Structure 1
Amino acid sequence: MLNLPSVLPFHGCDLRYADSGGDGVPLVFTHGAGADHVMFQAQREHLRARGHRVVVWDLRGHGLSRPSAVPFTAGQALADLRALIEHLALDRPVLVGQSLGGNLGQALVRRHPGLARALVVIGATWNTAPLSRWDRLLLRSAAPLLAAIPARALPPLMAAASAVTPEARDDARRAFGGLSKKEFLQAWRATVALLAPEPGYRTPVPLCLIRGERDRTGNIASAMPRWAAAEGVEEVVVPDAGHIANQDNPEAVNEAIETFLAAIGARR
């Protein structure tokens, strides 16, 4: 259900969002490329019921944050996310991001270490990981391969690659279908632009890493375990879930996030 009642006009786009309000620890959820805020419905309800202040939003050019007068870029998406946090006067929120949303969360924390109290990454690769020759080849070839796919074939193809349950695939197909091929490719290129190898970098805030056991997107299945080992954290591997684990198996992801918040003392 698309329901974002609030608007933040910013750089040629009305960014749409919903804020549950309250005095609980704030969490800001950012969806992946081609998706929208609906993907976090289960997490939104679960965490709001437990006293947290939950903010969901649609990235520009996605969902209800349309149209955008400027192209989607990594820099603009980061500016949008920071503007939303400042607009709501959120005190060091927990950033929760899936896929591109997770890459944006990493980049924002790297640029502004004091802005967030913690980072939850669901199904996203490690921004600062060293890239092998094979990784670089995959990144260079992905955009041309996606560009070669007929526009009407892209939503069902991406949905099938992202989810394993029928319900999650249906919603992914709906969301992907809301973007033009050009808009989706812009979002994909923005994701790649956020990858900036720096092997010695370590996340300066508590970190929670979650991936679906059947996630075959990019190098996530191999990069996230290495990332977890480098950071000294335990990754959460969600059974019966693909790239959008939070929709394929929402109960397991809800439990993982709630356990993490309790561990870092992010209670109401």
Structure 2
Amino acid sequence: MRRRILSTFALAFATSAVAFAAQAAEIKNIVIVHGAFADGSGWRQASEILTRRGFNVTVVQEPLTSLAADIEATNRILDLQDGPTLLVGHSYGGMVITEAGHHRKVEGLVYVAAFQPDKGENLATLAGSKPAAAVSIRETPDGKYLYLDPKAFPADFAADLPAEEAAFAAKSQVLAAKDIFGTRVGDPAWRTKKSWAIVATEDRAINPDLERDMARRAGSQVSEIKASHAVFASQPEKVAGVIAAAAKEAGE
């Protein structure tokens, strides 16, 4: 009798373990954090591709008023997810996910043509370590916010988008508080969680070699895509493919 009970218990435990493992491997939530001088609308095509593949995609519309406020905005969206989540960041969004990635629901991080800082680093210092090809950032008259010169925006940010799309992106860009570029990052989540990085080889906003160096330092799995800084919009199929593969691997 005792042997039968133990056998039944062992079977139940094994069944539960298998079910738990299957559940742990299932990451269906994707949260995307856009970069500075942009908003989440540029991610529409990539989001639709991922949705058709069965993912639940949410794009954070962070305020770009401070790094702390942007992390809080991301955490609010992560709180709403119903299970394990893959966190994706583009450009400055990489600074945000590096800290927001500590959220208990985040299983992995994907950096898309993004800054991937270590503890104590800020965006300005990182960008200056290997300057980008473009220098078209301007200050607002009050000196508190930064933006990309609309005339230079298409070439420097989105050279491989149709001209009308790039022009509209320049007109609809979100100004970023100057302070966010000097704010230092705390302990990076990529030290404890799996990470992936997409290098945009034609990037004029972030030096592609800097993207490679940051990814190498973090031990991220790297994919290179021939595209501008707006790789998420100009190559949505390829970017979505990397994200989908990362979601599968992060759950294993």
Same fold (TM over 0.5): yes
Give the 3-state SS of the residue equivalent to 1:156 in structure 2: coil
Aligned pair in 2 of structure 1 residues 77, 255: CA closer, same or farther (>3 Å)?
Answer: same
Contact 2:87 2:108 in 1 (8 A): yes
Alignment counterpart, residue 236 of structure 1, candidates 196, 209, 223: 223
Aligned to 2:205: 217
Give the 3-state SS of the residue equivalent to 2:97 in structure 1: helix
Deviations 1:140-172 (A, max 9, x none): xx79x62289x99822322321112232x5334
The alignment of Structure 1 onto Structure 2 pairs a total of residues equal to 218
Displacement of 1:201 in angstroms is: 8.2
Q: How far apart are the structure 2 equivalents of 1:154 and 1:213?
A: 22
Paired AA for residue 50 in structure 1: R
Are 1:34 and 2:64 matched, yes or no?
no
Are 1:73 and 2:66 matched, yes or no?
yes
Aligned to 1:184: 175
Are 1:157 and 2:145 matched, yes or no?
no
Contact 2:107 2:251 in 1 (8 A): no
| Identical amino acids, percent of aligned pairs | 19
Displacement of 1:264 in angstroms is: 2.6
Alignment counterpart, residue 174 of structure 1, candidates 168, 172, 181: 168
Are 1:206 and 2:209 matched, yes or no?
no
Alignment counterpart, residue 58 of structure 1, candidates 56, 61, 78: 61
Q: How far apart are the structure 2 equivalents of 1:246 and 1:133?
A: 22
Alignment counterpart, residue 128 of structure 2, candidates 128, 132, 135: 135
Contact 1:159 1:170 in 2 (8 A): no
Deviations 1:191-237 (A, max 9, x none): x2355487x98531110101211012244x12222223223333111
Deviations 1:161-189 (A, max 9, x none): 1112232x53343234235xxx6241x54
Aligned pair in 2 of structure 1 residues 197, 245: CA closer, same or farther (>3 Å)?
Answer: same
Displacement of 1:39 in angstroms is: 1.1
Aligned to 1:94: 86
Paired AA for residue 193 in structure 1: G
Q: How far apart are the structure 2 equivalents of 1:117 and 1:152?
A: 33
Query: Considering only aligned residues, what root-mean-square deviation do their CA atoms show, in Å?
Result: 3.5
Paired AA for residue 177 in structure 1: K
Structure 1: segments with no counterpart, 5+ residues = 1-22, 62-71
Aligned to 2:46: 43
Aligned to 1:120: 110
Q: How far apart are the structure 1 equivalents of 2:77 and 2:103?
A: 17
Q: How far apart are the structure 1 equivalents of 2:87 and 2:193?
A: 11
Q: How far apart are the structure 2 equivalents of 1:234 and 1:258?
A: 14
Q: How far apart are the structure 2 equivalents of 1:208 and 1:195?
A: 22
> What TM-score do you get using the length of structure 2 for normalisation?
0.72
Q: How far apart are the structure 1 equivalents of 2:117 and 2:196?
A: 15
Aligned pair in 2 of structure 1 residues 194, 27: CA closer, same or farther (>3 Å)?
Answer: farther
